[in-house]
Chains A and B, each alone.
Chain A
Amino acid sequence: MLSQDHNDLLTQTGPGTPMGDLFRQYWIPALLAEELSEAGGPPVRLKLLSERLIAFRDKNGRLGAIDEFCAHRGASLWFGNNERGADNTAGLRCAYHGWKYDVAGQCVEIPSEPDNSRFCSKVKLTSYPLVQIGDVIWIYMGGSAVVPPLPEYEWVHVAPQQTYTSKRWQENNWLQALEGGIDSSHVSWLHSGGLKNDPLFKGSKGNQYNLNDMRPFFEVVEADGGLYVGVRRNAEPGTYYWRITPWVMPAFTMVPPRGDHPVHGHFWVPIDDENCWVFTFDYLPARALTEAELQAMRDGHGVHNEYVAGTYRPLQNKDNDYLMDRDAQRRGDSFSGVKGIAIQDASLQESMGPIVERRKEHLVSADSGIIKARRKLITAALALRDEGTIPPGVDPAHHRVRSAAVVLPVEASFLDACRDALKVIPGVPQTSV
């Protein structure tokens, strides 16, 4: 169990909260690049860390996220025109009375004022920088004094043909979603069907180890940026099958790979305290994704999902009971009756409620990764609040990690044996079974 105070500290990420301040130390995923692909294209409204924003790529190609609402009368700038004036000043013009803002939130024109008025220079909306790296547009929502170095996660730095990212809206607090990414023990149960059937999972030898040993052992090891969670299962006599999941603070996890399948992982981003974005990626360090792999991802296989048309809401969602199929459950096609790895996770995590009541839970030793992650988050949030300590995971060196799946002699330490496998070495394939 966790005290209510600690649960509140961990789950509340709005402005002025300790965990909100912690998140505001990092560049975090805000949007997929496809959402703002065109200079001068439509603005996108988004909410992150309980702040309503409008993001746009101006006609000069610059990205920015600003307060969604016009300083004049509070109308949404989502209706605005993304335009460039004769003087080359690009910005978003409110559709109500024509106030115009640049990507930094600076008001650059108030049409009701005289032509040569300087008054607009006194109006500025809150703004945050955006930067595109790979398929993802990242945001830094901290103060402007010291902007941290840009993210160096491998999945956004490999060549475009080697990577694919999707995102989905999950209707619960970010932490219970993240904890699903740290908790490897549910895979043998909840995802047992996917290991056999999913085109992006099936066929690896590691799957057999997963399915043959339903009582894994766990080792949790501190890392500079967070944790490594090692899970071992019996393999051939004298050996263990290890699956190693890195967690980089605050919200990045990677799933250990399977055979030659693409490596996947997630970034769990709070929208508000009862919703989060799950940015989901697949990539390969040393080869391009095949057309079949890409098509499987677009079709919602692997850790991706299908969508309600025109949205990032999963097609299977809580309003339709995730299209649960009791017959598929009886047949063993899917352990929970829900199709797809991603929605299997989402359905169970959303069923816990918008913010799980952790004072009522009964964790077991197999949940050591979760216990340790909570501890590290609390410690980092309080150290930041009380002493201004920069938290783990801000340094880009902490981003250069990989997951791994290996078979090792029983006497081997997974961390010693996998030291290179857990590091990013450009062009070198993932370590996988």
Chain B
Amino acid sequence: MLQTMHGTCAQAATRDEAKFRIDGQTRIPRSIRVISLDRAASHLVQPTRHIRHTVRFLEAREAESADQPTSPPLLRPDGTVTQLDDELDNADFVLMVATAKASGYAAAAIGNACALQGIMTAAIIVETHSDAADAIFAVRPYARVLLVSHDSGDIAEIISVVGG
């Protein structure tokens, strides 16, 4: 069979040809939940709350013991309480944010619920002054992508780029 025009990649990938790429909307913004796993993480997340209207910001109530219910209640920014199952409805992506103070209980509940519903998960663990090895160990099984960072600015970056 004969090759049609731009039969070689050398022809097809020039700067001149790039102007003919279709400039159209290819995706609908993701519906994102950003869930802080501890109070310190909630403070780090606070500056990002203006980024996208398709993002809901929540804080998992800190665990007091291993006997807590598997689905922890979540706090909205206005202080009202909501349930994990309700918040995951129609979500595409859940970003968990943690510091060294986070435990794995909430991460387990969130990760397991997302796995059941086919929701993509990621976690950012921000190491500030203290070693976050325990938190990393606790969260790792429940996030499909894990970013360990010294820069809390990565939270906004992930929300902005992945959510677009």
Contacts and interface: CB of A to CB of B under 8 A. Distances in A.
A52 B22 contact: yes
B27 A117 contact: no
Interface in A98-135: 112-119, 122-126
A322 interface: no
Nearest to B5: A169
A122 B93 CA distance: 12
Interface stretch (B34-42, B101-109, B116-124): B116-124
Contact of B92 (A31, A116, A118, A125): A118
A31 B12 CA distance: 18
B120 A114 contact: yes
Nearest to A37: B1
Contacts of B5: 46-47, 169, 271, 275, 277, 312-313
A120 B17 CA distance: 28
A392 to B, nearest CB: 28
Interface stretch (A64-72, A179-187, A191-199, A330-338): A64-72
Question: Top 3 nearest A-B pairs by Cβ distance?
Answer: A116-B118, A71-B26, A117-B118
B20 A52 contact: yes
Interface string B2-34: 111111010011000100111110111010000
A44 B115 contact: no
Given A47-B5, A52-B20, A71-B27, A113 B120 contact: yes
Contacts, number: 94
Nearest to B24: A126
A46 B2 CA distance: 13
Contacts of B17: 52
A107 to B, nearest CB: 8
A47 B114 CA distance: 42
Given A35-B4, A37-B1, A312-B3, 6 more contacts: A34-B1, A45-B4, A114-B119, A119-B30, A122-B28, A125-B26
A123 B27 contact: yes
Interface string B65-102: 00000000000000000000000000011000000000
Contacts of A395: none
B22 A67 contact: yes
A69 B24 CA distance: 11
Residue from A37, A42, A74, A119 whose CB has the most chain B CB atoms within 10 Å: A119
A310 B2 CA distance: 5
Contacts of A271: 5
Residue from B2, B17, B30, B117 whose CB has the most chain A CB atoms within 10 Å: B2
Nearest to A115: B118
Contact of B2 (A51, A76, A312): A312
15 contacts: A37-B1, A44-B4, A45-B4, A113-B118, A114-B118, A114-B120, A117-B118, A118-B92, A122-B28, A126-B22, A126-B24, A169-B5, A311-B7, A312-B3, A312-B4
A118 B26 contact: no
Contacts of A275: 5
Q: Main SS of the interface on chain B? A: loop
Contacts of A50: 20
Nearest to A38: B1
A67 B24 contact: yes
A235 to B, nearest CB: 42
B118 A118 contact: yes
Nearest to A121: B28
B96 to A, nearest CB: 15
A113 B12 CA distance: 30
A349 B74 CA distance: 71
B92 A122 contact: yes
A122 B4 contact: no
A55 B20 CA distance: 16
A122 B3 contact: no
Contacts of B4: 31, 35, 44-46, 312
A38 to B, nearest CB: 9
A54 to B, nearest CB: 11
A76 B144 CA distance: 27
Nearest to A30: B4
Given A67-B22, A114-B114, A272-B20, A119 B6 contact: no
Nearest to B8: A311
A281 to B, nearest CB: 17
A69 B21 CA distance: 8
Interface string A314-326: 0000000000000
A414 interface: no
Nearest to A42: B1
Interface string A169-182: 10000000000000
A44 to B, nearest CB: 5
Interface in A265-284: 271-272, 275, 277
A47 B5 CA distance: 8
A172 B24 CA distance: 27
Contact of B26 (A15, A47, A124, A272): A124
Nearest to A107: B27
A272 B114 CA distance: 47
Contacts of A125: 22, 26
A113 B118 CA distance: 8
A78 B26 contact: no
